């Protein structure tokens, strides 16, 4: 066994041997280095040998495999030691406290069937005997951290008699079963080690963006993307549905958008689009995994595909521009001063709002280099009002802070701090002071379309190389100087697809950086450090292999297990 072996090969795992004192100390060192308690009661751990030994160094590397290796790191984790709970054909999944518990138990049964081959029964109602219990309790019931589990938190306790996951909402139970999956091996049944976890996210928004405009990806690929998001506790899917190179969503009454507008993509491929039923299928698949879809239509620029179908949306009125199938964009715009523009936006936004249960509709706002400031502000303000009139909140790229108080309700920061114009920074800070929440996705940390390094065959590099450590090692609260505290609602991992044409291309860029951003968004900043993360990340690789995410990147600096 090596120190990078996956969790199931450690003590308590199927292949585990006797737990030695040295192994326990090693575990304690690793967990303390990760900012966790290695003892059942975290208050006492600071005086322990483990705590003293780990204190001076951030780079403690234990000499034995970890019995637990979780990504993202839970906010409180104690490895209680002793025997764990073996999953066998006699294991029953018990759902207590409501329909959502039953639904999550069903999802767990599906997941365990995939990894173990066992068809474990799901039972509703009061828990009896050994097994896995998923329990919903009333909001406000104190978790071990106090203050309740919140909307997404959960508790997980395991021992020889079974595993109990407790939460106050379905989302919390769902996140809890993702943790439970990671306590088991990538394949086979195995034993859940004895742990006590209380966990809740740092930020309420942990989003992943997928650009289906530059290259189109059909519903099953989006579902596989969603599976990965769910595994790492993301909760928003930001779908970039329109851009210069393609329009990807059917809008009743505007057939040209899915005719000519959808028929192109970068590199000359055939493109494609989602029907109403396709889009609803994505929304439902995401919702079943507690992920909210945020559809985005890019305005007032990045509209060449729409103009190929409806050239009268541009101030010149025609002729129709040629399709654009190269990298780049933002060289065109809808006409700010013409009512037709807002009739069009109303139809598009109205259609999306009617199919979208989530609170936000994205209206773009980036890289509008061909409008003057007043025209830009007019489109973003009127588009924001249209979104609100349809009962949703407008989300836009940070550029739209220029629109002032009538602008979007949520802003996404994408410029690397070092590349952001001083005026834009002031506008974003002013919006945040007015109470506009900010989602952080600075390209030099969160743009997963950027190359890892000079050898990466795919991707762009305008924000510099973004290796996994760069994706991991930053603090969203302080990355943009001047933001008032509490204004960061969360983070987003952005996957633009100018250079990504196949599902495997997506996995190459997402893995291993998506899990890095998951931990940035979920785990306490003070508990995070790269050496601990790199080791836990390495243990995820057999899962990606087992799940078919082929082509993931063996980024340097991560102790990947042999054979993965």
Which residues are part of the catalytic machinery? 367
Q: 238: which strand partners?
A: 209, 294
User: Residue 329 Cβ, how far from ligand TNX at the closest point, in Å?
Assistant: 6
Site string for ligand TNX, 142-181 (x = CB under 6 A): ----------------------------------------
Tell me how far, at minimum, the Cβ of 271 lies from ligand TNX, in Å. Answer: 16
Are residues 416 and 465 in contact, defined by beta-carbon separation less than 8 angstroms? Answer: no
Of the pair 223, 367, the CB lying nearest ligand TNX is at 367
Among 87, 94, 96, CA closest to 114? 87
Among 288, 460, 546, 564, binds ligand TNX (CB under 6 A): 460
549 binds ligand TNX (CB under 6 A): no
Tell me the C-alpha distance between 142 and 166, whole Å: 11
Helix axes 513-522, 503-510, angle to 10 degrees: 50
Compute the least distance from the CB of residue 258 to ligand TNX, in Å.
21
Residue among 286 and 299 whose Cβ is closer to ligand TNX: 299
CB of 7 to ligand TNX, least distance (A): 35
| Residue among 144, 137, 199 nearest 168 (CA) | 137
> Which residues within the stretch 428-447 sit at the binding site for ligand TNX (CB under 6 A)?
447
Write out the two tokens for 393.
């909140």
CB of 496 to ligand TNX, least distance (A): 3
| Chosen residue from 203, 234, 247, 397 binding ligand TNX by CB under 6 A | 397
Cα–Cα distance for residue pair 353/293, rounded to 1 Å: 11
Round to whole Å and give the CA distance between 550 and 220: 16
247 binds ligand TNX (CB under 6 A): no
Q: Which is nearer to ligand TNX, 78 or 249 (CB)?
A: 249
Query: Do 185 and 6 form a contact (C-beta atoms < 8 A)?
Result: yes
Q: Does 225 bind ligand TNX (CB under 6 A)?
A: no
- Taking residues 312 to 351 in sequence order and writing x for each that binds ligand TNX by CB under 6 A, - otherwise, the string is -----------------x----------------------
Q: What is d(CA 174, CA 186) in angstroms, rounded to the nearest whole number?
A: 18
- Is the N-terminal amide bond of 326 cis, ω within 30° of 0? no
Q: For the purposes of burial, counting CB atoms within 10 Å of the CB of 357, is it exposed (0-12), middle (13-18) or buried (19 or more)?
A: exposed
Give the shortest CB-374-to-ligand TNX separation in angstroms: 21
DSSP state of 460: B
Q: What are the backbone angles phi and psi of residue 43, rounded to the nearest 5°? A: -60, -35
Q: Is 274 in the site for ligand TNX (CB under 6 A)?
A: no
Measured from the CB atom, the residue of 6 and 364 that comes closer to ligand TNX is 364
Q: Does 376 participate in binding ligand TNX (rule CB under 6 A)? A: no
Q: Is residue 496 near ligand TNX by the rule CB under 6 A? A: yes
- Determine contact, residues 413/428, Cβ cutoff 8 Å: yes
Which residue number, 75 or 264, has a Cβ lying nearer to ligand TNX? 264
User: Minimum Å distance from CB 40 to ligand TNX?
Assistant: 46
Q: Write out the H or E segment, with its range, that includes residue 211.
A: strand 205-211
The one-character DSSP state at 188 is S
User: Does residue 366 belong to the site contacting ligand TNX (CB under 6 A)?
Assistant: yes
Least separation in angstroms between CB 207 and ligand TNX: 14
Binding to ligand TNX, residues 86-115 (CB under 6 A): none
HSE-CB of 360 using CA atoms within 13 angstroms: 26
Helix, strand, coil: what percent of the chain each, to 5? 35, 15, 50
Can residue 414 be called a binding residue for ligand TNX (CB under 6 A)? yes
Rounded to a whole number of angstroms, the minimum distance from the CB of residue 450 to ligand TNX is 7
Q: Residue 152 or 244: which CB sits closer to ligand TNX?
A: 244
367 binds ligand TNX (CB under 6 A): yes
Which one, of 186, 167, 190, 191, lies nearest residue 177 by Cα? 167
Q: How far apart are the first and last CA of the chain?
A: 14
Q: Which residue is nearest to ligand TNX (CB)?
A: 366
Write phi, then psi, for 312 (nearest 5 degrees): -70, -5
Nearer to ligand TNX, 236 or 544 (CB): 236
Q: How many chain residues touch ligand TNX (CB under 6 A)?
A: 10
* DSSP strand pairing (162-167 vs 154-159): antiparallel
Q: What are phi and psi of 403, to 5 degrees?
A: -75, -15
Q: What is the DSSP string of 140-170?
A: T---TTSS--TTT-EEEEEETTEEEEEESSH
Contact with ligand TNX (CB under 6 A): which of 449, 467, 519, 555?
449
Question: Which residues are within 8 A (CB) of 147 and not within 5 positions of it... i.e. 6 or more apart?
Answer: none
Closest CA to 536 of 20, 77, 22, 15: 77
CA distance 397 to 401: 8
By beta-carbon proximity to ligand TNX, the closer residue of 225 and 397 is 397
User: Which residue's CB is nearer to ligand TNX, number 122 or number 489?
Assistant: 489
Nearest distance, CB of residue 460 and ligand TNX, angstroms: 5
Collapse the DSSP code of 175 into the 3-class scheme (helix H, G, I; strand E, B; otherwise coil) and give the result.
Answer: helix
- Closest to ligand TNX by CB, 33 vs 494, is 494
Q: Which residues bind ligand TNX (CB under 6 A)?
A: 329, 366-367, 397, 414, 447, 449, 460, 496, 498
């Amino acid at each position: 066994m090596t120190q990078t072996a996956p969790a199931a090969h450690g003590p308590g795992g199927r292949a585990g041997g006797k737990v030695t004192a040295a192994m326990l100390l090693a575990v304690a060192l690793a967990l303390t280095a990760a900012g966790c308690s290695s003892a059942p009661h975290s208050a006492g751990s600071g005086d322990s040998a483990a705590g003293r030994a780990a204190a001076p160094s951030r780079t403690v590397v234990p000499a034995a495999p970890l019995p637990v290796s979780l990504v993202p790191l839970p906010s409180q984790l104690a490895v209680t030691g002793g025997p764990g709970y073996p999953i066998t054909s006699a294991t029953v999944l018990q759902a207590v406290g409501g329909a959502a518990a039953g639904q999550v138990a069903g999802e767990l049964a599906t997941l365990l069937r995939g990894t173990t081959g066992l068809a474990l029964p799901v039972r509703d109602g009061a828990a009896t005997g050994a097994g896995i219990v998923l329990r919903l309790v009333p909001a406000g019931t104190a978790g071990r951290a106090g203050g309740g589990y919140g909307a997404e938190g959960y508790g997980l306790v395991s021992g020889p008699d079974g595993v109990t996951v407790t939460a106050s909402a379905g989302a919390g139970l769902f996140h809890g079963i993702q943790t439970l999956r990671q306590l088991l091996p990538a394949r086979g049944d195995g034993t859940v080690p004895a742990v006590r976890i209380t966990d809740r996210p740092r930020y309420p928004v942990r989003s992943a963006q997928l650009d289906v405009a530059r290259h189109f990806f059909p519903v099953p690929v989006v579902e596989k993307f969603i599976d990965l998001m769910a595994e790492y506790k993301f909760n928003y899917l930001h779908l970039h549905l329109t851009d210069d190179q393609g329009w990807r969503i059917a809008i009743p009454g505007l057939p040209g958008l899915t005719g000519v507008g959808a028929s192109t993509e970068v590199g000359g491929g055939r493109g494609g689009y989602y029907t109403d039923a396709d889009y609803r299928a994505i929304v439902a698949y995401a919702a079943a995994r507690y992920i909210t879809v945020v559809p985005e239509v890019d305005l007032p620029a990045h509209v060449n595909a729409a103009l190929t179908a409806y050239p009268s949306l541009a101030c010149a009125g025609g002729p129709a521009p040629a399709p654009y199938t190269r990298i780049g964009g933002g060289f065109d715009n809808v006409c700010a001063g013409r009512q037709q523009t807002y009739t069009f936006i109303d139809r598009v936004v109205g259609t999306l709002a009617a199919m979208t249960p989530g609170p936000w509709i994205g209206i773009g706002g980036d890289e509008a280099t061909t409008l003057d400031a007043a025209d830009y502000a007019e489109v973003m303000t009127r588009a924001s009002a249209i979104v609100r009139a349809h009962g949703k909140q407008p989300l836009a790229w940070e550029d739209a802070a220029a629109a002032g108080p009538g602008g979007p309700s949520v802003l996404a920061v994408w410029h690397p701090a070092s590349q952001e114009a001083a005026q834009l920074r002031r506008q974003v800070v002013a919006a945040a002071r007015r109470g506009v929440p900010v989602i952080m996705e600075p390209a030099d940390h969160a743009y997963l379309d950027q190359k890892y390094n000079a050898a990466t065959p795919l991707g762009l590099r305008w924000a510099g190389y973004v290796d996994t450590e760069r994706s991991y090692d930053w603090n969203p609260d302080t990355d943009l100087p001047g933001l008032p505290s509490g204004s960061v609602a969360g983070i987003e991992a952005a996957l633009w697809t100018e250079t990504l044409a196949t599902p495997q291309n997506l996995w190459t860029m997402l893995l291993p950086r998506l899990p890095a951003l998951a931990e940035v968004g979920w785990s306490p900043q003070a508990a995070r450090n790269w050496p601990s993360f790199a080791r836990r990340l390495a243990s995820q690789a057999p899962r990606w292999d087992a799940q078919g995410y082929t082509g993931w990147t063996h980024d340097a600096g991560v102790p990947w297990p042999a054979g993965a």
